């Protein structure tokens, strides 16, 4: 039987009784319809998973008793940092969700020249909060006990200031695929740069190339931005990671 997993931003101790926050309580009570004595698993980004039993259920409040903890490391051996050109609608959600499942360690949303999402600062903050919830939910589902880092939204020039020597960018006109490349230093961050719908502009591609970014293609078919990001992450994992 699959045990339901819940993230809480709390310090846990074995033997402790804690009250879950309102969102988690409502999810366990009203969505999953769990009952007293049902088991759940908690995590808080410290690398451990905590076994617990439900001891009380009220309308908006569930309390649990922590009975055990175990250190369980299922993180990717690769430190993948995805710089993703922000895409429309739920495409960005999909990229974040599946990126978590595939082991991405850091995400940086980037406002590129062809980015179709235009928001003011307040709405970007709401987007950031929503994306953080997507990441937490994906960790709950996939069994990760460490939350990937979600960096603040950056404009193009700010993002370029984060460029490093192990940076790959997707370019349908590139001449090489990931399997043609030498294995990088796996102790360092591997950056993957993916454009939004419409890809990177010629000017952006030129800037990345000037910074010694490595252009990579993913085959002869044109992939949507969310497909391209996940295909690239999977390729990197298959060649150098834990696939």
- What is the distance between the alpha carbons of residues 17 and 184, in angstroms, rounded to a whole number? 46
Assess whether 46 and 110 both reside in one domain: no
Phi/psi for 125 (5° steps) reads -65, -40
Please check whether residues 131 and 222 belong to one and the same domain: yes
Contact between 191 and 167 (Cβ < 8 Å): yes
Q: Does pTM surpass 0.85?
A: yes
Question: Is there a single domain that holds both residue 104 and residue 32?
Answer: no
145 and 197 part of one domain: yes
Please check whether residues 50 and 128 belong to one and the same domain. no
Q: Are 136 and 112 in contact (CB under 8 A)?
A: no
Q: Mean pLDDT, to the nearest integer, of 197-219? A: 93
Is it the case that residue 120 has pLDDT exceeding 90? no
Backbone angles phi, psi at 205, to 5 degrees: -60, -45
Residue 46 structural domain: 4-71
Res. 1 pLDDT band, cuts 50 70 90: low
**Residues 92, 157 share a domain:** yes
> Do residues 86 and 179 both lie within one domain?
yes
Between the ranges 34-38, 116-120, 147-151, where is the mean pLDDT highest? 147-151
Say if residue 231's pLDDT is above 80.
yes
Same domain, 18 and 123: no
Q: Are residues 101 and 139 in the same domain?
A: yes
Taking only the tens place, the pLDDT of each residue in 124-157 is 899 999 999 999 999 999 999 999 999 999 999 9
With 90 as the cut, is the pLDDT of residue 216 above it? yes
Determine the average pLDDT of the residues in 190-197: 95
Tens of pLDDT, residue by residue over 148-181, are: 999 999 999 999 999 987 899 999 989 999 999 9
Q: Could you please report the per-residue DSSP string of the chain?
A: -PPEEEE-SS---TT-EEEPPHHHHHIIIIIS---TT-EEEEE-SSSEEEEEEEEEE-SS-EEEEEEEEEE-----SS-EEEEEE--STTHHHHHHHHHHHTT--EEEEEE-TT------HHHHHHHHHHHHHHHHHHHHHHT-SSPPEEPPPEEHHHHHTT--SSEEEE-TT-S--GGGSPP--TTS-EEEEE--TT---HHHHHHHHHTTPEEE---SSPPPHHHHHHHHHHHHHHHHS--
Provide, rounded to the nearest whole percent, the portion of the chain with pLDDT above 90.
82
Query: Are 196 and 89 part of one and the same domain?
Result: yes
Range 108-117 average pLDDT: 91
Confidence at 41, pLDDT banded by 50, 70, 90: very high
Q: pLDDT tens digit string along 59-99?
A: 789 999 999 999 988 999 999 999 999 998 899 999 999 99
- Its sign, for the CA torsion 31, 34, 35, 39, is negative
pLDDT at 187 over 70: yes
Query: What's residue 169's pLDDT?
Result: 95
On whether both 98 and 43 belong to a single domain, the answer is no
Q: What percent of the chain has pLDDT over 70?
A: 100
How many domains does the chain contain in total? 2
Are residues 27 and 120 both part of a single domain? no
Task: Check if the beta carbon of residue 88 is closer than 8 Å to that of residue 116.
Answer: yes
User: Are 49 and 6 contacting, i.e. CB atoms less than 8 angstroms apart?
Assistant: no
Diameter of the chain measured on Cα atoms: 60
| SS (HEC) of 171-222 | CCCCCCCHHHCCCCCCCCCEEEEECCCCCCCHHHHHHHHHCCCEEECCCCCC
* CA distances, 40 to each of 36, 58, 118, 185 (Å): 11, 17, 40, 39
Q: What is the pLDDT of residue 117?
A: 83
């Amino acid at each position: 039987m699959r045990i339901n997993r819940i993230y809480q931003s709390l310090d846990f101790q074995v033997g402790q009784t804690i009250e879950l926050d309102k969102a988690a309580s409502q999810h366990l009570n009203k969505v999953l319809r769990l009952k007293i004595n049902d088991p759940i698993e908690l995590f808080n980004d410290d690398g451990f998973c905590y076994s617990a039993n439900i001891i009380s259920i009220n309308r908006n409040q569930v309390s649990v008793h922590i009975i055990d903890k175990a250190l369980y490391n299922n993180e990717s051996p690769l430190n993948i940092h995805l710089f993703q050109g922000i895409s429309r609608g739920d495409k960005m959600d999909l990229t974040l969700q599946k990126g978590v499942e595939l082991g991405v360690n850091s995400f940086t949303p980037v406002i590129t020249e062809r980015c179709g999402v235009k928001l003011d600062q307040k709405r970007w903050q709401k987007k950031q909060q929503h994306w953080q919830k997507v990441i937490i939910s994906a960790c709950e589902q996939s069994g990760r006990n460490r939350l990937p880092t979600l960096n603040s939204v950056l404009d193009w020039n700010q993002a370029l200031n984060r460029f490093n020597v192990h940076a790959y960018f997707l370019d349908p006109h590139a001449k090489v695929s990931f399997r043609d490349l030498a294995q990088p230093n796996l102790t360092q961050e591997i950056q993957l740069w993916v454009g939004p719908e419409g890809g990177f502009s010629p000017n952006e591609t030129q800037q990345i190339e000037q910074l010694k970014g490595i252009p990579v293609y993913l085959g002869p078919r044109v992939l949507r931005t969310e497909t391209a990001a996940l295909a690239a992450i999977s390729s990197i994992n298959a060649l150098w990671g834990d696939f």
